[in-house]
Structure 1
Amino acid sequence: MTNYLDFEKPLAEIEGKAEELRAMARAGEGVDVEAEAGALDKKAAQLLTELYKDLTPWRKCQVARHPERPHCKDYIEALFREYTPLAGDRNFADDHAVMGGLARLDDTPVMVIGHEKGNDTKSRIERNFGMARPEGYRKAIRLMDLADRFNLPVVTLIDTPGAYPGKGAEERGQSEAIARSTEKCLQLGVPLVSVIIGEGGSGGAVAFASANRVAMLEHSVYSVISPEGCASILWKDAEKMREAAEALRLTAQDLKKLGVVDRIIPEPKGGAHRGASEAIASVGKAIGEMLDDLKGQDRKSLLQDRRRKYLDMGSKGLAA
């Protein structure tokens, strides 16, 4: 791992020393360092457990944004077979911040849709850092319509700082596109399950996550606004993002108590970026279980289930 978060600096020093010792041994300097390196590995593992045992909301935000965290494309490639991407909103353009298409989860045909941030400079620019424009939400609406027509369950993977706030996006009806996408989620007569795999930012996330069942990875976040944005509005100081993160109740643990999400998916020790395969497998298992939970329900039952979920939202844990 090459990218360490601010609070992981002590860990970086220990793991760096262990790697230096092993580099000396590989260079043929005749030094037996394995015992000392092993001791450092043990110390690093203990420190990693301590660091991640009780993360603050702000630290969870940092983990959710980690550049090496698995993204939508990674989940689709690992979990879904016969993925056939579908592009464009049939109106303006194809938004690369949103990817989606037909696929199979095990033997079940589904429509999968998600935000993709990219994993290097070139792909992040191409994907607009996961911030969808109106054509991205209209593409999602088109794919959800297609799924509804052919009675296919819909799986959405959410990882976005929020919808793109640029001038062109606003001119093309950004707020209307988000509202229509949210409306379409609520109108679907097929099972809709969502997983927040990183950041669930603002209406840009809600537009994909107004589902029958919503799950969050343990260290992901889901909020109406970013902590920095909230701090800038309330305190006129973006540096108060830690206080804002506490107040927003954006962690999976808080949102489970409030009934906003239905389940929390455990992450490997040290976060999904330290065990991508394990995290992806856990998400796949959760998606399968959520779809099984909805199997056999007719259109009317699914609509009532979704309606009841959102009318009841916030009634749990208010005294907490």
Structure 2
Amino acid sequence: MSTPDRKPILLDFEKPLAELESRIAQIRELAEENDVDVTEQIRHLDAKAVQLRQEIFSSLSAAQRLQVARHPRRPSTFDYIQAISDEWMELHGDRGGYDDPAVVGGVARLDGRPVMMLGQQKGRDTKDNITRNFGMASPGGYRKAMRLMEHANRFSMPILTFIDTPGAYAGLSAEELGQGEAIAYNLREMFRLDVPIICTVIGEGGSGGALGIGVGDRLMMFEHSVYTVATPEACAAILWRDAAKAHQAAEALKITAADLMGLGILDELLTEPIGGAHSDPLKAAEILKEAILRNLSELDQMSGQQRRELRYQKFRSIGVFAEVTA
């Protein structure tokens, strides 16, 4: 895992908790300076802080979960790959002349088993985000991802994808190079792969940018991740011509893991450490690894044809509705 900056980054709804923790730290410091025993008071305040953290993060709105999903310290694709794999070798290039830094991938060992791991990669700071284009892949990024997946299929390696992007890059250069075609090609080709495919939304799953590596036998999401056809800001600008109504759009879009679980789109919701994955990245990685290994064990019992049929039926059932007559 990357080394975090020591200065905390607080979201608006975390401020009451930060104030309480600051007060606890001050009491500890004063007690040490004056040689006073405040063990019982500190224990009481620590318990109150744990309870407050649980209350805050168990009742977040869709817009607040979006804030957590976009948190600068939230574990990235690189972080999870490094934390859950025994070893990993990054592979570069789409074999068409471009190596998109917004998509990373390579061969890894997961509990000694060769797998292909790939996903979108956001930056940690402004400079890194510019280099990674904020995790928004170009057509070359999706072609690189497909090349790696075809390689995995050829050598019978399961494919693990990590989704974390506000969407595919929508610039003029991307359109000129065939962004729509690149994503559509991935959607079609992922359905024909024989090997197990497990897709996990680790942060922000936005639009076709997420779908370009999101066709799998299993779709998992972390508790405070989001998966949406368009960002709430874009939706609000389109429907109400007012981006300030993004919080209203976030509720209407049903973007949270719980929403998607209820709609039958999500296969598994991964709980996060209290305070979000960024509060305890190693614990989050442990939760992810356990879920991947468990699902891989189930998918290994199927033949390639059964997995393809499962994948096909899974996506065919999305959006099915029943008409209710009076």
Q: TM-score, normalised by structure 1?
A: 0.93
Maintained 8 Å contact 1:259/1:315: no
* Equivalence for 1:158: 163
1:101 aligns with 2:103: no
Q: In the TM superposition, what are the counterparts of 1:35-184 in structure 2 within 5 Å?
A: 35=39, 36-184=41-189
Identity over aligned residues, as a percent?
48
Q: CA deviation at 1:40?
A: 3.5
Q: Which runs of 5+ in 1 are unaligned?
A: none
Maintained 8 Å contact 1:21/1:33: no
What are the superposed Cα offsets for residues 80-136 of structure 1, whole Å, 9 maximum, x if unpaired?
A: 122110001111311111110011111221111111112233322221211111111
1:13 aligns with 2:19: yes
What are the superposed Cα offsets for residues 53-105 of structure 1, whole Å, 9 maximum, x if unpaired?
A: 22211111111111111111111001112211000111131111111001111
* Equivalence for 2:230: 225
Q: Which runs of 5+ in 2 are unaligned?
A: 1-6
Distance 2:244 2:217 in 1: 36
The one-letter code of the counterpart of 1:9 is: K
RMSD, aligned CA: 2.0
Cα gap change, 1:20 to 1:290, in 2 (>3 Å): same
Residue 286 of structure 2 is aligned with which of 270, 281, 304? 281
Q: CA deviation at 1:20?
A: 3.6
Question: Helix, strand or coil for the counterpart of 1:209?
Answer: coil
The count of corresponding residues between Structure 1 and Structure 2 is 317
Maintained 8 Å contact 1:80/1:104: yes
What are the superposed Cα offsets for residues 267-291 of structure 1, whole Å, 9 maximum, x if unpaired?
A: 1111111121111100111111111
Maintained 8 Å contact 1:68/1:273: yes
Q: TM-score, normalised by structure 2?
A: 0.92
Q: CA deviation at 1:211?
A: 0.5
Distance 2:323 2:102 in 1: 35
Residue 315 of structure 2 is aligned with which of 282, 304, 310? 310
Cα gap change, 1:245 to 1:210, in 2 (>3 Å): same
Distance 1:298 1:74 in 2: 32
The one-letter code of the counterpart of 2:111 is: D
Cα gap change, 1:163 to 1:47, in 2 (>3 Å): same
* Equivalence for 2:34: 30
1:211 aligns with 2:224: no
Distance 1:312 1:45 in 2: 41
Q: CA deviation at 1:31?
A: 5.6
Q: CA deviation at 1:37?
A: 4.7
